[in-house]
Structure formats: structure tokens, C-alpha cells
Amino acid sequence: MLEHIFEKHAALIALTSIFVFGTGAQWLSWRIRLPSILLLLGAGFLAGPVFHLVNPDELLGETLFPFVSMSVAIILFEGSLSLKLSDLKEIGSVLSYLLTIGVLVTWILGALGAYIILGFTGPNSVLLGAILVVTGPTVIGPILRQIRPIGQVGAIARWEGIVIDPIGAVLAVLVFEAHRAFLDTGVNEGTMIALENLFWTILYGGGSGALAALLLIFFLKRHAIPDHLEALVTMLFVLLSFAVSNILQEESGLVAVTLMGVMMANSGVTLKHIIEFKESLSLLLISGLFILLAARVPISSFAELGWRGPAFVVFMIILVRPAAIFISTWNSNLTNKEKLFLSWLAPRGIVAAAVASVFAIHLGPDGKGLVPATFLLIVGTVVVYGLTAFPLARYLGLASSDPQGVLILGANELARAIGHAIKEANYPVMLVDTNRWNISTARMEGLRTSSKDILNENAVNELDLGGIGRLIALTQNDEVNSMGAMQFSGLFGRANVFQLTPWRRAEKQENSTSYLRARFLFGDEFSYQRLSDRIDSGAVIKVTKLTPEFTFENFQEAYGGTAVPLFISQNRKLTVLDTEQHSPKAGQTVIALVDEPEGHLQDQPNGINETTSAPVEGSI
């Protein structure tokens, strides 16, 4: 009876299983805090070889290969929407080395490892080496968000993880085509054919992607597409660009969609609706692809690799990646610690799995071993890097387990004064504002700044948040403060996101919490206007060390009881004060807004140790 039901509804059961196993694995990975890729692979093996609920070849037949390719294209396009060309000012040279010399080193050493350790044939070894030059942007992203590395290594890893994927896929195609050409025409003509294919891949892929991006940008800037159709029309252009490019030259479509995404990301058009849709779609496609691809792999194929499989994974992690990084960046401005960190961050993901599966289909029995070797490397790199990259970053001083720095939304006079005080207390601080005058003033004063739009969906990925663990919103616009707090509450946690008290609440005109998106700073009565009025009247922000001889009560008396404590620092931990009552104690350093009496600096009581963050001239 059950067999009859399964036979009659095989397609329905398979499609439902893909969704159930894929979504269930994502959900479970969130609950138990494990990389989703591991559970997705496990779910794929359960759905396929174990329970025989999903047979991708029977379910999709000849459409399996096009479906996998188009899904990878959409995933790459979504990832490339986070790439800003402004990052290349700092990392451009290093990135170029990684994408040329680094790729070559990884390819050669990976091929040697496949030939010597796995015992593959020469052509299959070279092909596997080409496939494995890719990394996994869908895995690197979550790792980087967890680590928040200091300096340029985060941007380098993010760019490399996305741009290297089409390079690896195209390289694998060229290797495959060159091998067939060598067999048919000889080495010399085969080499010429491979170079010719590379030329057409760049031409058709670049041309198709650029044309699609320019047309879409043209329509978006002229509001020719309604908001509710922006995502769908974008999908139309992405798939058309991919399909046309691929028809003209095999696998050039991945180049097209990556270039298209980069051009869109740097065009200045609003991508809100597009990004929201693409993020959800990419998550769904990643889940489905892993179930489909893993379901095709017999469990016995891993056993056939024996000890060679794990040995190859160790070889790729311990030798190949470090060699690629140190050789390609030997003359760069990266420190040895940064090179070591990048040497330990190359997880493989869905692109490696998809490309290996596609070529295994093309090669048939001759491609035996490609997929299990790739899947073993995916699992090995995700486990190793996922569990050890964060501790390594902390050990190298490139990340903190409890970052104490502050991201300030706003670079107005009040924000700059507070930024100076936090910097003087030796905590990282960054001011973010879209007002060029505010940003240029803050930068000239020696503060770390960014002119990125913090309300943009990609701000979390674009900002260098190394050492920063909380947000304080200090603009004069209460709605902007609330939206900024919402944007970063998921990253920092609601306990570490603060905003100024909205003026209606401060003036007792509104008692509801309709504006509440974060904890209110300093006290219920301190709106932007009240604090900025104090600054305009000559108040300053002081950093003062309290002692048993000079307590907080003495501190208040010295300033006529008008001091407003803003932050407390002790043992390299910074506490942002909110509406709750706080009484700083001896041994702590208090950062406070004070109305400084005339001649006060000459009459300091014994034991006080303070500096002043003077108000900055200029309009708010």
C-alpha cells in the first residue's frame, strides 16, 4: 500500500521533501547554532540515499543541470550586490593578487593533491583543482558577521569569496574543454582553443552583464518599474543575461550575473525591494540545491575514498590555502597576523558542490570521485573554519569576544564631542553620517568616520565594525535614530543598541513607547535638543577617574550637581548609561557632560584625573 502511494505521488513527495528537509535544516541550524551547510548536507543524504524520498535525476531529468546553473547564478548575483567599489581603494591590490596568483597556486597544488593523494587521473586532478579554487560566500558571510575582524581582512575575504566563484567555474569549464580539445587536436591547437574560449567568455559574459545592468539601472532611475515589480523585473534581467551569455559561451553566464550585481550595487539606485526578495530567494535556492545535490551522492562513494578523502581535506587546509595566501600577498601591506587569518578562512560552499556535480554529470563514470571529494572538503572546511576562525582571530588580536567599541549614528557637534570622549577613554569609535560637512569635520578632528547610509540594507556588511559592539543613535531626527537602532539590533543585540530619548517623550508630550526601538540614552529627559543646548551653552564632556578620595558625590559637587554621566569605564569594559539610575563608584572612570565653572581646572581636588572633550565649533 505504501509503495503504491509513493509510486503514485513520487514527484509530489520529492518536491515536498526538498522544501521540508531544506527549511527544516536551516531552522534547526539556527536553533542549535551550527553552520546550516552541515545540516543541509546531512538532510540531503537522509532525503536521498537513506530514505529514498528524493531522486533528483528522476525528478528533474534533463532540467537538473540548467536548474542548478540558474540557481547558482541567482545566488552569485545576490552576493555581488554587497560589493562596493569604494572598498577597492584599500584592498584592490591584495585582491588582485589573490584572484590571480592565489588562484593559480590553489589550482596547481589542489591538482597535485588530487593526483597524488586521491589517485585521480591527470585530467580529473586538474579539473578538481580548478573547481576547488572557489570559496563559499554563503558560509564566509556568517563567519565574518560573527567575528567582525579588525582592519581590511573582512573586506578582502568578502570580495574574494564572491568574485572567485565565477573565476573557478569558468576555469573548470576551460579545463574541461581544453582536455577534450587536446584529445581531438593535440596540445598546441587545444591551447589555442582554450585561450579562444576564455576570450569569448569574458566578452560575452562581460557584455551581457553590463548591458543588462545598464538597462535595469536606466529603468530604475526613471521609476519606470513599480515598487512591487522591481524584484521580479530584476530577476527577469538576471536570468535573461545569464541565459543569453550561456547560450553564446558555456558558463560565461556566471561572469555576467556577477558583473551585473557589482554594477547595480554601485549605481546609486535604491535596491531595498530587490535585496529583500533576493535574500529570501537565495536562502530558498541554497537549501534546495544542497538537498538535491547531496541526494545524488551514494554514501558508499565516501567509503571508496577511504583514508585518502580526509587526507586530501587536511592537505587543502594545512598546506594549499596558507601557501596561496602567503605566496600571493608576500609583497603586500598585510601584516603576518592578517595573512595568517586569511590562510585560515576558505570554506567551500554551494558553488563548489554545484560545479562538481555538473561536471560529474558530463563525465559520467569517468567523473567518479569528483563529487564525494568535493563534498568532503565542504564539510571539512566548514567544520574547521567555523569552529576555529573566531578563536584564531581573537588570539591574533583581529577580533574581540566582547567588543567594547561604539558606532555612533550622526557626526554632528554633540556626536563629535561624545566620540572624542570615547576615543580618549581608549575605546574604538566610528561616526557614521551622510552629511558631508559633518563627516569631513569629524575626519579633520581625527575621528574615524564613514559616509555610508546606515539605513541601507547592506550597511552591516559594508562597514568595518572591527572592535565595535554597540550602537548609539545621536541624530536630531528621532525616526532616523529608531530606524538605525532597528537596523543594527540583530547584529549587536537589543541590549547594545541605544538611541536618544525622542523629544515628545522628553517633553512629556507623549508617554507611549511607539518610538521605542532601543534603550534610551542617559535619561528620559535628555533629548537631542536638550543635550545640544548644553553643548551650545559651553558644556564639555569630561573623562574622570573616580577614587576613594574623590567620589562621584564629590564630582557632582564640583560641578554644582549639573553633571550628566554618559558612560562608565572599568577594566576595559564600557557601560552605556540609559534611563536606569546609575551611581559610579571609586575605581571607575566616568564620562560625563558638565557645565565647567570658570577657573575649575586650576582648583582640581586631589585624586581627580580627567581630560576634556571640548565642544566643537560649527553648526549641528
Q: Give pLDDT, residue 185.
A: 63
Residues 592 and 497 in one domain: yes
Task: Answer yes or no: do 413 and 340 share one domain.
Answer: no
pLDDT for position 337: 92
Cell of 534: 548644553
What's residue 373's pLDDT? 93
What CA–CA distance (Å, rounded) separates 583 from 194? 73
For residues 239 and 115, membership in a common domain is answered with yes
**What averages of pLDDT result for each successive group of 10 residues across the chain (620 residues)?**
68 90 88 80 89 87 85 84 74 89 95 95 91 83 77 83 82 77 63 77 91 94 87 92 90 86 83 72 84 86 90 96 94 90 90 84 81 91 88 83 82 88 87 86 86 69 75 84 81 82 61 59 77 83 84 81 83 79 78 70 43 40
Closest Cα partner for 571 from 589, 597, 593, 552? 589
Does residue 620 fall inside a structural domain? no
Which triple of cell numbers denotes residue 213?
A: 545592468
Question: How many C-beta atoms surround the C-beta of residue 603 within 10 A?
Answer: 8
Picking from 334, 366, 395, the residue at the C-terminal end of a domain is 395
Distance CA 222, CA 523 (A): 45
CATH number of the domain that residue 507 is part of = 3.40.50.720
| 218-259 pLDDT per residue, tens | 999 888 988 888 888 999 999 999 999 999 987 788 889 989
pLDDT recorded at residue 272: 67
Same domain flag for 390 and 416? no
Q: Cα separation of 559 and 597, whole Å? A: 7
pLDDT value, residue 125: 93
150 and 257, same domain (yes or no): yes
Residue 89 belongs to some domain of the structure: yes
User: 320 lies in which domain range?
Assistant: 2-395
387 and 413 assigned to the same domain: no
pLDDT of residue 515: 46
Q: Is 29 in the same domain as 97?
A: yes
pLDDT tens sequence across 268-318: 777 766 776 777 787 888 888 889 888 888 888 888 889 999 999 999 999
Looking at the structure of the chain, the number of domains it has is 2
Secondary structure of the chain: what % helix, strand, coil (to 5)? 65, 10, 25
Backbone dihedral region for residue 543 (phi beyond 0: left; psi -120 to 50: alpha; all else: beta): beta
pLDDT reported for residue 339: 93
Q: Are residues 343 and 418 in the same domain?
A: no
Does a structural domain hold residue 377? Answer: yes
Three-state SS across 570-611? ECCEEEECECCCCCCCCCCEEEEEECCCCCHHHHCCCCCEEE
> CA–CA separation, 347 vs 340, rounded Å?
15
Average pLDDT over the chain, rounded to an integer: 82
Residues 374 and 409 placed together within one structural domain of the fold: no
Same domain, residue pair 380 and 442: no
Place of cell 505521488: 9
Name residue, grid cell 503504491.
Answer: 4
Cα→Cα distances 521→190, 470, 539, Å: 68, 12, 18
User: Domain of 188: which CATH number?
Assistant: 1.20.1530.20
